[in-house]
Amino acid sequence: MVKKGLFITFEGIDGCGKSSQIDLAAEYLKAQGIDFIKTRDPGGTPLGCKIREILLNYDGHVAPMCELFLYLADRAQHIEEKILPALNEGKIVLCDRYVDSTIAYQGYARGLDKEQILELNNIVAKGLMPDLTFVFDVSLEVSASRLGDKKDRMESECCEFHKKVREGYLDLAKKFPERIKVINADRGIEEIHKNVVDIVCDLYK
Ligand code: TMP
């Protein structure tokens, strides 16, 4: 695997505001004339969109292992078709979720073995890890108020599930402080954006 670009991932519980932040980060890079792509996991490719549809909207029981392998299947396609080619061309890749979502959601919250998830992810991702990861941290109350009434399959999980996801992210950030930066996302959107830009500029210079 050759890799010249920079791989930056945006993470957090549902309703944390990361999607607005990735859009603002993309606008910033565009204004600076920096070559980048913005993508998402799951659903960053045409095949991935079909997998995302199953993951978020299937209305029957989904076995946790099946869920895990669907996220990983999406990622395998995403990496080969989109992420690695962009990195190899020297671009910045802004990705809405990646492996930390899998560890937080399927590991910490769903209860699957975290080491095993990492091993499987390593096979799928050919060892590709982000250079920088933002975890947008908000309270469950704030995230719930942002989600509205129409929730997908994952958003509809109980409060305890989302609490475990949040704790999972904070735990991961403690384990990998060099890579994972926790951003207090209870603040105004522009203030958070400035925080993100400062950290990206530090890494890019
Ligand atoms: P999104 O709506 O932020 O794009 O995320 C899709 C949902 O999928 C969100 O609830 C988090 C969840 N998810 C996992 O459970 N495991 C994963 O590996 C990924 C990438 C997302």
User: What pLDDT does 1 receive?
Assistant: 58
Q: What is the crossing angle of helices 18-31 and 189-204, to 10°?
A: 50
- Asked, for residue 66, whether it belongs to a domain, the answer is yes
pLDDT tens-digit readout, 58-91? 999 999 999 999 999 999 999 999 999 999 999 9
CA distance 125 to 101: 14
Q: What is the CATH number of the domain that holds 19?
A: 3.40.50.300
User: What pLDDT does 75 receive?
Assistant: 98
Number of domains present in the structure of the chain: 1
Closest ligand 1 atom to Cα of 42:
20
- Asked, for residue 160, whether it belongs to a domain, the answer is yes
CB-based contact 129:6 (threshold 8 Å): no
Mutate to test the pocket of ligand 1, among 83, 154, 162 (most ligand atoms within 8 A of CB): 154
Domain that holds residue 102: 6-204
Token code pair at residue 125: 């991702």
**Of the given ranges (97-101, 120-124, 147-151, 193-197), which has the lowest mean pLDDT?**
147-151
Is the C-beta atom of 133 inside 6 A of ligand 1?
A: no
pLDDT tens-digit readout, 1-35? 556 899 999 999 999 999 999 999 999 999 999 99
- Asked, for residue 98, whether it belongs to a domain, the answer is yes
Residue 89, Cβ density class (10 Å: 0-12 exposed, 13-18 middle, ≥19 buried): exposed
Is the C-beta atom of 101 inside 6 A of ligand 1?
A: yes
Distance 204 CA to ligand 1 centre (A): 27
pLDDT tens-digit readout, 96-133? 999 999 999 999 999 999 999 999 999 999 999 999 99
Residue closest by Cα to atom 13 of ligand 1: 101
Closest ligand 1 atom to Cα of 75:
20
Q: Locate tokens 């292992």: which residue?
A: 65
Measure the N-to-C terminal CA separation of the chain; round to a whole number of Å: 24
CA distance 76 to 78: 6
Is the C-beta atom of 154 inside 6 A of ligand 1?
A: yes
- Asked, for residue 1, whether it belongs to a domain, the answer is no
Is the C-beta atom of 107 inside 6 A of ligand 1?
A: no
